[in-house]
Amino acid sequence: MSSRVSTTSPASANSVLRGYAPPEQVYDEYMLNTRQPRPHVQKFVQALNSIGRQTFETRWEQVQRSVQENDFAYSGYIGEEDRPRPWELDALPLLIQGKEWDAVSRALTQRAQLLNMILKDLYGDQKLLKTGLLPPELFFSHTYFQRALHRHQPPDSCYLHFYAADLARSADGQWWVLSDRTEAPSGVGFALENRILVSRMLPEAFHQCHVERLAPFFITAQKTLRNLAPQ
């Protein structure tokens, strides 16, 4: 067996993933059915093994304490005892290779553009309503329908400024959109906090894997909000 395989194998004594077996009938993001790491996560698994299981567990306990002490919670979601549902953070981040994410990103961009075109029509010519493709009663009775904005033309015909989607992957590896989120970028803060905590916990892995930065998104979001604000 080559040294490369032995260092990435979850069976080694010091492996963080020692004893882990991929669940059946679902797509495992880290492991193949052979219990070997997927090609795009091998470098990350090597970085995990380099720090060792004990160090990993110690760092994870520190992160969990930080989450608890800072009382991170989903403020819009109420759980038991009428309290906000606590935010849950996974010890291992979801890793998506660049080529695959580019395809997902293009598909989500297309979806956002479609939603923007629908809004443009609903607040404009309303062809979707006139042809019956969308039921008028559903639109006009909606709580957030702004009748005063009918025929209003925003700059660059941009009606939708933020878009997010809840994604899941089926057993065959196909990505699916579970829901669209357009009201507010509520999950952005959690994504940023996730990145901060996990990067501090696993700096070696983040350095070796050349993780995509989040800063460009926040810079673009800031510029967008400034452009929307009254002068």
**DSSP β-bridge partners for residue 164:** 181
Domain extent listing, the chain? 97-183
Question: Does the CA dihedral 227-229-230-231 come out positive or negative?
Answer: negative
Distance CA 122, CA 144 (A): 13
Distance CA 154, CA 227 (A): 12
Distance CA 8, CA 104 (A): 27
Please report the pLDDT score of residue 11 as a whole number: 54
Per-position pLDDT tens, the chain of length 231: 333 433 445 556 578 888 888 888 999 999 998 888 999 999 999 999 999 999 999 999 999 998 888 777 666 555 555 666 777 889 999 999 999 999 999 999 999 999 999 999 999 999 999 999 999 999 999 998 999 999 998 988 999 999 999 999 999 999 999 999 998 877 888 889 999 999 999 999 998 888 999 999 999 989 988 888 876
Please report the pLDDT score of residue 7 as a whole number: 42
Residue type, position 152, single letter: H
Please report the pLDDT score of residue 84 as a whole number: 67
Please report the pLDDT score of residue 187 as a whole number: 81
The runs of H, that is alpha helices, within 123-171 are 127-130, 136-140
Measured CA to CA in angstroms, residue 217 lies from 25, 170, 207, 212, 224 at distances of 35, 27, 20, 11, 10
Q: Are 76 and 190 in contact (CB under 8 A)?
A: no
